[in-house]
Structure 1
Amino acid sequence: MKKTLVSALTAALVVGAASTTFAASNPFSDVPEGHWAYESIQKLVDDNVIDGYGDGTFRGDRTITRYEAAQMVAKAMAKNPTGEDKTVVDKLRAEFADELNNLGVRVSDLERNADKVKWNGEARFTYTSDRNKNTAVGTNTKVNSAPLLFRLEPSAEVNDHWHVKARLDATTHLNTDAANNNSDRVKLVRAWAQGDYDKFQVKLGKFGSLNGDSIADTQFSGAEVSFGKEVKGIVAAGRLSTNVYGGNYAKAANYQYLGVEGAVDRLSGGLYLHRLNTKSLSAAGTRTAKFFKNNTEDTSNIIAVKGSYKIGNNVKLNGFYSNNPEADNYKQAASAEVSYKGAQKANQGTWGAWVAYRHLGSAAMVKSTYDVIKPDFKGWEIGANYAPFKNVVATARYGDAKEISNSNQKEKILFGRVQFFF
């Protein structure tokens, strides 16, 4: 709103303008062109702040009521003034607060603010049957689990560039329903501020590192800056819980990563470095040998490269390779996958299928995101997903794997999941 509108509003209040439901054209029959307030009244009519009376008059010689003045202030507020204009309108708003509330402006403000907060989420039911077999000693075990996750992901607008986002997870396990089930919990797992600009993005708080990445998509506390469009650079630093990547430590690890990624036609890829460091030993005073060379190093460096290529409209090849030269064991991880189409939650009846081979050395991964091939195992996975209804996706996976350093330890996993998105 321009300053002339505030000036016009002030002039109209002085003259005694009334706002009614009939929109008349200016000049009014009783406001001649030479009137001292003519231009101000013209501006207010153009901006739909005042309307005049049904008989085409302005009636500036009568005293307006506080409710009539409040109507004019409410219309000025709707223009979303800034700077000095906002200061003037805020003063008028405070003066006519009671009348504005009775006119419903309070409700309008709540509705406007509510539009700035958006909620997404999902209800996720998962069933897993894990069958282990050790051929050397002849043991067989089976573990079934049925976790239920309810997730909320609010996003609140701060201004044109910044949003505050969060993730809240509530979990329970249906196969262990009991009055005192310690596995039931509600937890704020992510909360961060995000600034989106034309050529760069900033994240501050606790958020997911490299969202969607196969070896590093987990929450950490810190800052990330990404920049560029066709080719994007990423730099981040913060703190990561050692419960994520292993080790026997009392405190979180320092965590930094950087990368460059881009896409050309049907080909996309990226190169990344993840660095983890901690000197906070537990009371036991030991490190996990597979993460640190000779069980003495404090730093773990993971170098990763990934890529994908689309064949036609429906087939895609995906793969990655990562290596941790600081580790003694489980120092390499890799995956190769061929996928066909894929379920789209917004499109009922869509489906997809895939087959993959994965070798997942845990020392070469910050956090594995795979469901049926576990860290420190290698093997085959097949799977499919389907959207039976809009915003509902069902997924099935089967994994056949063996431990990387012990071929006698074998594992077969059945996995099913249904997700309801909202």
Structure 2
Amino acid sequence: MKKTLVSALTTALVVGAASTTFAAANPFSDVPADHWAYDAVSQLAADGVIEGYGDTTFRGNQNITRYEMAQMIAKAMAKSDVSAADKALIDKLAAEFSDELNNLGVRVSNLERNADKVKWNGKAEYTYWSHRNKDTQDPALKKNNDDQLLFRLEPSAEVNNHWHVNARLDASTDLSKDSTDPSVVRDTAKTHDDGVQDTNVKLKRVWAQGNYDNFQVKLGKFAQIDSDSIFDTAFSGAEVSFGNKVTFTAGAGRQNMDENSDFKQTFDFTKNDKMANYQYAGLGYADGKFVGGVDYHHLNADSFDYTVNKGAKANVEDNANIWLVKAGYQFDKTNGLNGFYANNTSADDFDNAWSAQYSYKGAQAENKGTWGAWAAYRHLGDNTALFSTFDAILAGQKGWEIGANYAPFKNVVATLRYGNGKQLLTDDKIENLFGRIEMFF
């Protein structure tokens, strides 16, 4: 039902004119002093109940809804310094528009609650790395340095008590070249030496996640179950997980191998099929100081094309069948061990990857002054470490890594890593330096 503003103000005058005196100046050019509603309009404007339009007009002949009138009454009800006569008028108007005021309250409440449903996290990140091959004669591989800047946003929106929608948006630039040309910018999330990444803002991940008692489901593009080992990348598909201390996880979908620079060293991208069919399943256990798990990963794509038989009858394999065992033990608040071993049963060469790491403490972004250090040995065969994002020992290399991190300020973490080892294919000696500063918000 609609009511003109004139008729609404008439109601106000009829209800309370006998006991109300209006003495405010008129702020509206189209309400003359001899207009019948002059006193009401002037007083309500002076009290901040009505505001008119930016051109100093009131436009009182326009239709307004009862909901719009209720908004005006709500403003008047919020005032605490009104006279007894004005209070009586406001109360009678509130009774007339009680349904609209109730709806208004519900709407305001919902807006406030919806604002709390969406949370934004993210970080700004500066990364420097230097990859060095001490034995090669190729000047392009002798020493390769770069520094990069990444800006990341990670929104999370509540759908209901069980479901959330999550996303990751990344934008990066190559500082050494002061360029956003995708031909010269590397993927800062991977930090490998030949990756190429478009620096326009990219939606890297987006998925819906449902959390229930001892059950979880993910749908969209998200990271797999082995983010702590060699499968640290996102794929598009679905995943379900059951259990509490003992968990079973399974997923399936499609993996874009062209997004990961490790593949460019190993596989044939002249093939049309750059997408791999991907399935995985795993059992995990976590209780107190110990965590562990066994996983199986299967990928199939024409572009794998790695040799599985040596000699004159060599052929190529379009499948990867990778088994992985991982474990970690936290002795106390400061000392911990973790590691994994993986094997690609479809490959003959570079068919295993493993790592063992000792960690002491660890920087906590929320706690200024915290720090940590670690030492590790890693062996990352190309045909198994398909998605590795280790920064000091890369896929196709083996060697020692030492590192440390420190939180100089709240929500700021600085990390240094140094790797020393060999290329698995050529046995060339290598050194890798890695530094990063992250500012979380």
User: Normalized against structure 1, the TM-score is what?
Assistant: 0.73
- For 2:66, the equivalent position in structure 1 comes to none
SS in 2 for 1:74: helix
State the alpha-carbon separation in 2 of the partners of residues 195 and 224 from structure 1.
Answer: 11
CA distance in 1, matches of 2:226, 2:208: 15
Match of 2:229 in 1: 214
* TM-fit CA distance, 1:179: 7.4
How far, CA to CA, are the matches of 2:148 and 2:381 in structure 1?
A: 26
Q: Would the alpha carbon gap of residues 138 and 188 (structure 1) be closer, same or farther in structure 2, given more than 3 Å must change?
A: closer
Do 2:355 and 2:376's aligned partners in 1 also have CA atoms closer than 8 Å? yes
2:100 corresponds to which residue?
70
Residue 360 of structure 1 is matched in structure 2 by 380
Aligned partner of 2:355: which letter? Answer: S
Equivalent residue number for residue 114 of structure 1: 115
Distance 1:63 1:395, change over 3 A: closer
SS of structure 2 residue aligned to 1:175: coil
1:167 counterpart residue number: 168
Indicate how the Cα distance of structure 1 residues 153 and 179 shifts in structure 2: closer, same or farther if over 3 A, else same.
Answer: closer
> In 1, are the aligned partners of 2:341 and 2:355 still within 8 Å (CA)?
yes
Contact 1:194 1:202 in 2 (8 A): yes
- 1:403 aligned residue (403, 411, 423): 423
CA contact 1:384–1:395 (8 Å) conserved in 2:
yes
Distance 1:415 1:206 in 2: 28
Q: Secondary structure at the match of 1:363?
A: coil
1:229 to 244, 250, 262: 244
Query: Is 1:269 matched up with 2:289?
Result: no
In the superposition, relative to structure 1, how do residues 65 and 351 fare at CA in structure 2: closer, same or farther (>3 Å)?
A: same
- Cα deviation 1:221-276 (Å, max 9, x = unaligned): 00000110010110000000122363223220100110001123322110000100
Q: Residues 94-105 of structure 1: matches in 2 within 5 Å?
A: 105=108
Q: 1:115: Cα distance to partner?
A: 1.2
The size of the alignment, in residue pairs, is: 332
Give the TM-score taking structure 2 as reference length. Answer: 0.70
Contact 1:294/1:328, CA 8 A, preserved across alignment: no
Name the structure 2 match of 1:11.
none
Alpha carbons 2:174, 2:180 under 8 Å: kept: no
Query: Counterpart in 2 of 1:186?
Result: 201
Segment of structure 1 superposing worse, 383-392 or 139-148: 139-148
Distance 2:309 2:210 in 1: 35
In the alignment, which residue of structure 2 is the partner of 1:306?
A: 326
Per the alignment, residue 287 of structure 1 pairs with 305
The structural deviation recorded for 1:211 is 5.6
Q: Give the letter aligned to residue 336 of structure 2.
A: K
For residues 252-307 of structure 1, what are the alpha-carbon distances to aligned partners after superposition, in whole Å with 9 as ceiling and x for unaligned? Answer: 010011000112332211000010012x45xxxx8233799943332210000000
CA distance in 2: counterparts of 1:165 and 1:302, whole angstroms:
29
Equivalence map 1:31-46=2 (5 Å): none
The aligned counterpart of 2:336 is 316
**Structure-1 separation of matches of 2:252 and 2:138:** 47
Structure 1 equivalent of residue 432 of structure 2: 413
Distance 2:395 2:309 in 1: 13
- Tell me how far 1:109 sits from its aligned partner: 4.2
**What amino acid maps onto 2:272 in structure 1?**
A
Gaps of 5+ in 2: 1-83, 186-198
Distance 1:120 1:385 in 2: 21
Find the partner of 2:349 among 294, 304, 329.
Answer: 329
Deviates more, 1:365-374 or 1:393-402: 365-374
Summarize the Cα distance change of 1:291–1:241 in structure 2 as closer, same or farther, 3 Å threshold. Answer: farther
Q: Which amino acid aligns with 1:220?
A: F
Q: Are residues 345 and 179 of structure 1, via their aligned partners in 2, closer, same or farther at CA, if it must alter by over 3 Å? A: closer
d(CA) in 1 for partners of 2:386, 2:179: 34
Q: Distance between the aligned counterparts of 2:94 and 2:338, measured in 1? A: 72
User: Aligned match of 2:214 in 186, 191, 199?
Assistant: 199
CA distance in 1, matches of 2:102, 2:356: 66
Max Rg structure? 2
CA deviation after TM superposition for structure 1 residue 213, in Å = 2.4
1:190 is paired with a residue of what secondary structure? Answer: strand
C-alpha deviation, 1:328, in angstroms? 2.3
Matches within 5 A, 1:116-135: 116-134=117-135
Letter in 2 for 1:199: N
How far off its partner does 1:74 sit? 3.2
Secondary structure at 2:383's aligned position in 1?
helix
Give, in whole Å, the separation in 2 of the partners of 1:267 and 1:69.
59
The CA distance in 1 between the partners of 2:167 and 2:322, in whole Å, is 28
Do the aligned residues in 2 keep the contact of 1:224 with 1:236 (CA within 8 Å)? yes
Please point out which of 272, 277, 280 is paired with 1:250. 272
C-alpha distance in 2 between matches for 1:365 and 1:271: 16
SS at match of 1:185: coil
CA contact (8 A) 1:290 1:331 kept: no
